[in-house]
Amino acid sequence: MAEKAKQAEVEATEAKTTETPEIQVSEAQKNPEQFLKDFNWHNYQEGIDEVEDSQLQEFEKLVADNFVDTLDDEVVEGEVIHITDRDAIIDINAKSEGVISLNEFRYNPDLKVGDKVEVLIDVREDATGQLVLSHRKARVIKAWDRVNAAHDNGEIVKGFVKCRTKGGMIVDVFGIEAFLPGSQIDVKPIRDYDAYVNKTMEFKVVKINHEFKNVVVSHKALIEADIEEQKKEIISQLEKGQVLEGVVKNITSYGVFIDLGGVDGLVHITDLSWSRINHPNEIVELDQKLNVVILDFDEDKSRIQLGLKQLSKHPWDALGEDVKVGDKVKGKVVVIADYGAFIEVAEGVEGLIHVSEMSWSTHLRSAQDFVSVGDEVEAQILTLDREERKMSLGIKQLTPDPWTDITTKYPVGSTHKGIVRNFTNFGVFVELEEGIDGLIYISDLSWTKKIKHPSEFCNVGDELEVVVLELDVEGRKLSLGHKQTTENPWDKYEAEFAVGTSHTAEISDIVDKGATIEFNEDIVAFVPARHLEKEDGKKLKKGEEAEFKIIEFNKEFKRVVASHTAIFREEEAKIVKAAAKKAANAAAEAKPTLGDANETLQALKDKMDGKK
């Protein structure tokens, strides 16, 4: 461009030197006065030679055709004439070419010589005389017009992904930093955002906020239209039983979502494998390609149910015909419930061991007491239904039934030791050995204690000595007794506390309608209220010691009734009887008068009433 300017100056100078002398001579010779009158003294003083107007216009046209006006903030179009490792050389028809860093073209990695680009004159002449241009600033000036036009027209734009940010990515679009939400990057979930950084991609402008100068773009929107067409085509061809290839899109605890090419289907966890699994990631992994079969879909085919295990033969169909009831099998515990455990005896073939088939014991226990998930166990096939695909197993059948020789091991009257396993309101269950349980009724726990609930007498896990009272082999029932292991203390108490015997004790407690007294640790007697009266007419109180007479003793019901009043009442009766006898003897000897006899009886009566 500098050469073009010099050429224009040379042409103008030649025109002046060839034509001007002829004009000057002719004018000066023809009309000297007029020449002097029109002479431009200012140009002469400035050292400017006079040029005709036509020549000036031609020169101005030449400059206008070959040079640009380098005003500030004006965007002009330039051409890439050379590219170095760091810069792009741009020709804008100015005196010299401009330089722009290639960093400003990161969004356009395909930049090449000959491309037209918009630039802004940043510095018209730096220290080295170089023209400095800016493509980024030019893009910013034009960016908003382009962004708005792209949004209004649905135009596809290119953008450079600069970096990650919270919830998405920052994209350079026309020099404007736009936001790309994570959900708008692709139709499938993105697991590695960093893989998109420093990449140039196509986008659609989906939202513009003019007030805050915010732009939102979407890459997902570009492919959704194509996917929608694919989706319609796939849905129109769906049939139950059809096998399709898909890609694992998402894995949840309840199943796997498969991308069938724009259409998503769900493989429920129960349709992944014939065997039990705890989580789908045991079978599949993300982005894995696999074949699935269509099991079902709704009317509009928006919900598609898929299956994976259905592509392989059912394990029950492959189960050998030689497997039969009574056979022993080995397997692994896969699931435990309160009522039993499921054992996988072959891949996809399970049998149930009910808790009642785990032990010969009859008292209530849970399956967790016998097995744990993952245990390898051996069992016997009890039932087998190939059509219903059900199998029941038993563990206890592998050991002898302890009730087979029960009469030999536990005859009536024999004494044994057992462990307390359970309580009921009416008694205690005691285990003599695995599978042999017996019941001790609450009345057979103690000879002397009045027990309202068995927990008052013993605890679960205690060892008790028992005697076999009854044996029902067919009903598999044992009746046991604990108190029978010791002598009945009431046998000796029957003589010691016979009716009419007297004993000294203190009032233990005042109860309704009387009081209680403890003669020893076994004998607790009841004293009716009217039998608490002392000789002086007062009643015994709690803690007061006195003599009592047994007025009732019942060994069967363990009932003892005592009386303090009977002690001195009996003494009074003896005195009356003795006085009467003495009076009778005296009458026989002295023949007393009737008044003497009355006087004696009155004195006795007064004594009894406490007057004397």
315-398 homologous superfamily? Nucleic acid-binding proteins (2.40.50.140)
The CATH number given to 154-224 is 2.40.50.140
Nearest to 213, CA basis, from 143, 149, 166: 143
Per-residue confidence (pLDDT) for residue 32, from 0 to 100: 66
Angle at the Cα of 403 (from 324 to 357), degrees rounded to 5? 40
* Domains 75-140 and 238-307 fall in the same CATH topology: yes
Angle at the Cα of 308 (from 306 to 310), degrees rounded to 5? 95
Containing H/E element for 505? strand 502-511
Q: How many CB atoms lie within 10 A of CB 213?
A: 10
Distances (CA, A) of 552 to 11, 74, 532, 539: 158, 129, 15, 21
405-481 homologous superfamily? Nucleic acid-binding proteins (2.40.50.140)
**What's the CA gap between 551 and 515, in Å, rounded?**
15
Using a CB cutoff of 8 Å and minimum separation of 24, what contacts does 148-152 make?
148/208, 150/204, 150/205, 151/205, 151/206, 151/207, 151/208
pTM of the model: 0.41
Banded pLDDT at 382 (limits 50, 70, 90): very high
Per DSSP, what are the bridge partners of residue 342?
A: 335, 352
Three-state DSSP class for residue 486:
coil
Residues 107-152 pLDDT 10s? 788 888 888 888 877 766 666 667 778 777 777 777 788 888 888 8
Per-residue confidence (pLDDT) for residue 379, from 0 to 100: 92
**What's the CA gap between 304 and 294, in Å, rounded?**
7
Cα distance from N-terminal residue to C-terminal residue, the chain = 161
Residues 466-519 pLDDT 10s? 999 998 888 888 899 998 888 887 777 877 888 888 888 889 888 888 999 988
Helices 2-30, 53-66: axis angle to 10 degrees equals: 170
Residues 209-231 pLDDT 10s? 877 778 899 888 887 767 777 77
Domain boundaries, the chain: 75-140, 154-224, 238-307, 315-398, 405-481
| CATH class entry, domain 75-140 | mainly beta
**What's the CA gap between 125 and 131, in Å, rounded?**
5
Q: Is 113:80 a contact under the CB 8 Å cutoff? A: yes
Per-residue confidence (pLDDT) for residue 94, from 0 to 100: 74
Q: Which fold has domain 238-307?
A: OB fold (Dihydrolipoamide Acetyltransferase, E2P) (2.40.50)
Per-residue confidence (pLDDT) for residue 21, from 0 to 100: 44
Residue 592 has pLDDT above 50, yes or no: yes
